[in-house]
């Protein structure tokens, strides 16, 4: 058994939406470190995207990361990204649907605008972007290995959090079920669909983990927040040969919050009651 070949991504072509910062950027670095040939990233903020492109290309080599500006909350933005990618590539090996939005408001004040933006970007976009890239993924699956699609869900789709993020929690639970349903269909075309449910990782969406990591770590059984290697490792596993037989599942990467957090853990981070 060749362990090196189990986990390498040599020659793969990937697209990571929302790949310019936070968890998306962790995915990009992980894919490149594992040998991906090219990683496309999409983002709305061009300057921020360019900074990530420059950083990654300086580390891994010129033209390893290619940016495409797109607002994926709208169908025309999805189609623009698809058109640009199809103009550049004949197949796609990896698609990581990472772009997302969160919205928090008190129950009696929660707006339709917040509901629609969150649901559209978190649930509609992964489905339709994958659908519109289906032919490229089919071609990727003909390269002697299955193509891979990863939806980024959240532990907030697996348990209740303390905040009034109604649409966000509903959307992420929906992504987990959407992953299972899409996996059942796409495996017929040699495309493996899975999901990663992150816990506390530093990002613009999770400012608590970014700005106060020690305080965030107090509520995590592992005693720390997530780092880039944790997220990269999960993606490499699922995208490589190692993850070929994992179909429709959600991998929880959270330091034990969902599965190992005792009822009194928040009251006493040491878990002593």
Active site members: 168
> DSSP string of 194-239?
EEEEE-S--SSS-HHHHH-HHHHHTT-TTSS---HHHHHHHHHHHH
Give alpha helix (H) positions in the chain: 3-7, 22-33, 46-60, 75-88, 112-119, 125-132, 134-140, 166-186, 207-211, 213-217, 228-239
Residues 6+ apart with CB under 8 A from 149: 94, 95, 96, 97, 130, 137, 182, 186, 191, 192, 193, 194
**DSSP tally for the chain: helices H, then strands E:** 11, 7
């Amino acid at each position: 058994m060749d362990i090196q070949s189990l986990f390498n991504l040599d020659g793969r072509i990937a697209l990571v939406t929302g790949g310019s910062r936070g968890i998306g950027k962790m995915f990009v670095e992980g894919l490149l470190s594992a040998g991906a040939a090219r990683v496309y990233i999409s983002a709305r903020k061009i300057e921020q995207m360019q900074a990530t492109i420059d950083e990654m290309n300086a580390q891994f080599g010129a033209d390893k990361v290619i940016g495409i500006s797109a607002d994926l909350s709208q169908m025309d933005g999805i189609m623009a990204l698809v058109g640009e990618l199809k103009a550049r590539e004949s197949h796609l090996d990896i698609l990581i649907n990472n772009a997302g939005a969160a919205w928090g408001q008190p129950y009696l004040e929660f707006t339709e605008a917040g509901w629609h933006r969150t649901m559209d970007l978190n649930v509609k976009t992964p489905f339709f972007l994958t659908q519109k890239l289906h032919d490229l993924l089919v071609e990727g699956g003909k390269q002697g290995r299955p193509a891979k699609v990863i939806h980024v869900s959240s532990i907030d789709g697996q348990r209740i959090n303390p905040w009034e993020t109604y649409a966000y929690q509903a959307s992420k639970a929906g992504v987990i079920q959407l992953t299972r349903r899409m996996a059942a269909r796409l495996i017929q075309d040699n495309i493996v669909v899975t999901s990663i449910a992150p816990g506390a990782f530093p990002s613009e969406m999770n400012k608590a983990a970014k700005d106060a990591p020690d305080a965030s770590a107090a509520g995590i059984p592992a005693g720390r927040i997530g780092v880039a290697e944790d997220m990269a490792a999960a993606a490499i596993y699922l995208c490589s040969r190692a993850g070929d037989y994992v179909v429709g599942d959600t991998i929880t990467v959270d330091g034990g919050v969902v599965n190992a957090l005792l009822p009194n853990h928040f009251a006493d981070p040491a878990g002593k009651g």
